[in-house]
Amino acid sequence: MIELRPFKNLGKSDHGWLKANFHFSFANYQNRNRMHWGALRVWNNDRIAAGTGFDPHPHRDMEIVTYVMKGAITHQDSVGNQGRTEAGQIQVMSAGTGITHAEYNREPEETELFQIWLLPNQQGVKPRWETRDFPAGARDGRLVPLASGFVSHESEGAIPLHADGALYAATLKSGDKVSHTLDGRPAYLVPAKGAVRVNGVAVDARDGVAIADVEAITIEATADAEIVLVETAPLQ
């Protein structure tokens, strides 16, 4: 099954300083048919105005990945972590036993990012935060694991996750193709930029593609594209 979820049909929220689009139920957008996809619970496309951001707020028992597409986000939390994550980097926060954090756009321009939450495969882990550089050039023409709970990705430099899932990214020139084996596992794909076809299904920038019970996918760029893919184990 490959289900296209067009950007125009996603949940919407506009707070002025924050313009958000929700692939899954979140905040005031409630859709019982879009509660999760495997262990993937949240995929928000946030645009944050310059000089604004999220004041301190708590989380627990969730793996939170932030993929910055434009600008940068500045992080500070209750366990002493602080840092800045810019386009070309990702940050991972394990909320674990509980953490309070703030995220601000300290840049002179709008920041755009994907905020992606995965359900953890163990409860009560020690909270942590990490940011890492993944230059776009290193992803040319291939899917690279950026954050992963799969042991097989440890040697590839992916940030570890306490989750049965992995986040990949690729940059593709128009006409490029990349294939990925899923063996029936749930996956969700969003082009950050450009346009692609996934097993022949046309997908534009910021559309979502929910994939299940498919052995493998072939992603073909129909325009220069940057894609993000999350693959997870089914929920038991």
Whole-number Å distance between alpha carbons of 105 and 160: 25
List of E strands, the chain:
2-5, 11-14, 18-22, 40-48, 53-59, 63-70, 72-77, 82-86, 89-94, 99-104, 111-118, 128-133, 144-148, 159-160, 165-172, 177-181, 187-198, 201-204, 208-211, 216-232
What is the mean predicted confidence (pLDDT) over 60-72? Answer: 97
pLDDT at 111: 98
Number of domains in the chain: 1
Nearest to 94 by CA among 69, 67, 119, 57: 119
pLDDT of 136 strictly over 70: no
Work out the pLDDT band at 23, boundaries 50, 70, 90. Answer: very high
pLDDT at 139: 81
pLDDT at 134: 76
pLDDT at 140: 85
pLDDT at 143: 94
pLDDT digits (tens, 9 = 90+) for 35-51: 999 999 999 999 999 99
pLDDT at 236: 63
pLDDT at 12: 96
Whole-number Å distance between alpha carbons of 15 and 45: 14
Lowest mean pLDDT among 27-31, 92-96, 113-117, 213-217: 27-31
pLDDT digits (tens, 9 = 90+) for 175-203: 999 999 999 999 999 999 999 999 999 99
Whichever domain contains 59, its CATH number is 2.60.120.10
Q: What are the phi and psi torsion angles at 39 (to 5°)? A: -85, 0
pLDDT at 224: 97
pLDDT at 156: 81
Which residue range(s) make up the domain with 102? Answer: 2-232
pLDDT of 102 strictly over 80: yes
pLDDT at 218: 98
Whole-number Å distance between alpha carbons of 58 and 102: 9
Nearest to 80 by CA among 58, 59, 99: 99
What is the mean predicted confidence (pLDDT) over 4-32? Answer: 96
Q: What is the mean pLDDT of the chain?
A: 95
